[in-house]
Amino acid sequence: MSAGPEPRDFDLRRPRSNPYDPDSTVVLPAASAMDEPTAVLPVIPEQIPPEEPPAEAGTRSVARSSGVMAIFSLISRATGFIRTAAIGAAIGGGLVGDAYQVSNTIPNMLYEFLLGGILTSVVVPLLVAAKKRDADGGEAFTHKLLTAATLLLGAATVLALIAAPLLTAFFANDRSTDASRHLTTMLAYLLLPEIFFYGLSALLGAVLNTRNEFAAPAWAPILNNVTVVTTAVVFLLMPGPATLSPSTITGAQVAVLGVGTTLGIALQAFVLWPSLRKVGFRWKWRFDLRGSGLGEAARLGAWMFVYVGVSQLGVLPVIKIANYAGTRGGPGPLIHNNAFLLFMMVHGIVAVSILTALLPRMSSAAADRNFPEVTRNLSLGARLSSVVLVPATAAYLVLGIPLAVTAFRWGHFSQDQAIATGYATMAAAIGLVPFAISQMQIFAFYALRDTRTPALLNIPVVVAKLAFDLGVLFFVPTDYVVVGLQCGNTVSYLVAVFVSGRYLKRSLGGLETMAVTRTLSRLGIAAAVAGLISWGVAYGIQAALGIGKAGSFVSLVVAGIVLVGVYAVLALRLRVAEVVELADTVKRRLPGR
């Protein structure tokens, strides 16, 4: 297979024909802090069975790896919901809960803004390139990179701890009491060390990733969730005031809450150590950083700030507009976030698993300057993700309201609010496939170690989103503002797919657009028919049982099963290659075959 055309250095001012310059680019954050990666998947095995066609082998390998990853991700997200419920039961949703949420959000935000994008996106391509380039297989480079990144994480954590009172004051408001401010600051002191452990976990996971080990990074977040659930149980069993408030909570309760939460993140990092030893990696501190090639990592980091800064310009107005609607009696930020949570759930279980499986593959191909292979993996990722995301879109569109009522209609969350969440979820669903494809494209830039281009391309994406959201603010009725904001997200994803695809095509010499389009068309037909039949089933059940929790749950389960079954049958009848391959894989694993 030929190496394909040389990639081009992107300059948005004019086309250029000189070879791709890795020094001109940077890597973007893989995901927002709202959707932490569950684990890292392995690089493609170096030996492929000779009797298996390469494309078929690649499909099976990615599907197998990402399938395992999806299972772990599903368990992680399920235990994550339990964690959230347990903490809520322990401290409530009042001022103590608000203080805990703010103080726990600060380290997440700081980690993601300062280091998260670099550690989760830049490290893997650099390690893969060093493994291929260096005589020692990249060992020395890995040690130096870990040393430099750990020192940076430590410094950032210390500075954050020193600035804790300032950080918590920034998030306070005029109605915050002195007791609330004090509690938030005390919890921040205990929770800010999470910055270090988040980074350490990402670093060690990246090292395991490039060494074809993914089990430990997959279940490490589950251990974190279990630890926090245990913390909540201990908190509930502790002696304390009858009425919990910022002024009555005891120092021991604050310590258990803060230390237990941070301990979960620390265990998520340290549990990876045995796996590192299993793959033969022994971390050695290397302070001879000069001339180590880490300058590229620093250059890669600069554009990440551009990307994050531009992205925040698109996020902040959404929060303000949603809050504006909420204060006027319409669905507000909570309903918006609930819909986004459901959106990111299916994306995280499916697309993120496939994305993390493909990044090392694309990085390896890019390091070999095998750009057709990068293109093939990009197409493969889009097609495999769509196998699940297309029917998920249909399911959300048809069953969004029963799902929202079943999931959120508890306690003080009213029926009307649950229905509003359902409508917002339906609007969000339209963006599932374009969002996944846009993320695939960003990962292709990651593999090429090019993030200057995505950072600059993010500008028109955010501009389009801002323009749409402002239109929602001024022209959409209050009751449908959150729905409009979800549509604004979809508009930004579509713009991202268009502009990123254009520049990737120039870099890689072409994209397998027709292959992706054929797969999407067939999947769309299967999902549309399945969705219509499922809607009829759900409508009949709700007509008989009502739209309360019981009727919504029954219609969700029964109609959901119908949708999945009809979709699978039609996709097989339409000979969707990826579905047929997955079905064959399942058949081979059945007993007696």
Q: Of the spans 56-65, 451-460, 563-572, which averages the highest pLDDT?
A: 563-572
pLDDT value at residue 53: 46
Looking at the predicted structure, is the pLDDT value of residue 418 above 50? yes
Per residue in 510-522, is it b (16+ CB within 10 Å) or e — as a string?
Answer: ebbeeebeebbeb
In this prediction, residue 61 has a pLDDT band, given cuts at 50, 70 and 90, of: low
pLDDT band (50, 70, 90) for residue 481: very high
Mean pLDDT to the nearest integer, 103-114 = 77
CB 365 within 8 A of CB 373: yes
Whether the per-residue pLDDT at 464 is higher than 60: the answer is yes
Is the pLDDT confidence value at 312 over 50?
yes
List pLDDT tens digits, range 118-177. 665 667 667 777 777 777 777 778 888 888 888 989 999 999 999 999 988 876 655 568
User: What is the mean pLDDT of the segment spanning 525-533?
Assistant: 95
pLDDT bin (cut points 50, 70, 90) of residue 459 is very high
Selected residue with higher pLDDT from 193 and 8: 193
Residue 484: predicted pLDDT: 94
- pLDDT, position 70: 60
Percent of the chain with pLDDT over 70: 76
Average pLDDT score, the chain: 78
Would you say residue 208 has pLDDT above 70? yes
| Beta pairing partners, 8 | 19
**Higher pLDDT, residue 338 or 468:** 468
326-341 burial, b at 16+ Cβ within 10 Å, e below that, comes to: beeebbbbbbbbbbbb
What's the confidence (pLDDT) of residue 258?
96
**Lowest-confidence segment of 37-51, 215-229, 307-321 by average pLDDT:** 37-51
Which tops the pLDDT comparison, 210 or 61? 210
Q: Which residue has the tokens 């910022």?
A: 246
Residue 502 has pLDDT above 60, yes or no: yes
Query: How confident is the model at residue 13, as a pLDDT?
Result: 32
Which residues, other chains included, contact 75 with Cβ-Cβ below 8 Å and sequence gap of 6+?
219, 222
Q: Which of 158-167, 349-358, 417-426, 511-520 has the lowest mean pLDDT?
A: 349-358
593, pLDDT greater than 60 = no
Burial of residue 101 (number of CB atoms within 10 Å: 0-12, 13-18, 19+):
middle
Q: Average pLDDT, stretch 357-371?
A: 76
Question: How confident is the model at residue 123, as a pLDDT?
Answer: 72
For 436-481, the DSSP string reads: HHHHHHHHHHHHTT--HHHHHHHHHHHHHHHHHHHHHHHHS-GGGH
The more confident residue out of 95 and 545 is 545
Q: What is the pLDDT of residue 115?
A: 65
Examine the pLDDT at 9 and tell me if it is beyond 50. no
Structure confidence at residue 46 (pLDDT): 38
> Between these two residues, 216 and 268, which has the higher pLDDT value?
268
Q: Would you state the pLDDT for residue 7?
A: 40
Spatial distance between the Cα atoms of 552 and 534, rounded to a whole number of angstroms: 13
Section 40-51 average pLDDT: 37
Q: Which of 51-60, 289-298, 417-426 is the least confident region? A: 51-60
User: Which DSSP letter does residue 6 get?
Assistant: P
Per the model's pLDDT, the better-predicted residue between 190 and 340 turns out to be 190
Compute how many other C-beta atoms are within 10 angstroms of the C-beta atom of residue 305: 15
Split at pLDDT 50, 70, 90, the class of 5 is very low
For the record, the structure tokens of 7 come out as 């990639």
| Most confident by average pLDDT, 156-160, 218-222, 324-328 | 156-160
Q: State residue 446's pLDDT score.
A: 72
pLDDT of residue 103: 83
Q: Can you give the residue ranges of every domain in the chain? A: 53-293, 300-512
pLDDT of 466 strictly over 70: yes
Which stretch, 168-182, 346-360, 475-489, 569-583, has highest mean pLDDT? 475-489
> Average pLDDT of 13-25?
31
Question: Computed over its alpha carbons, how large is the radius of gyration of the chain?
Answer: 24
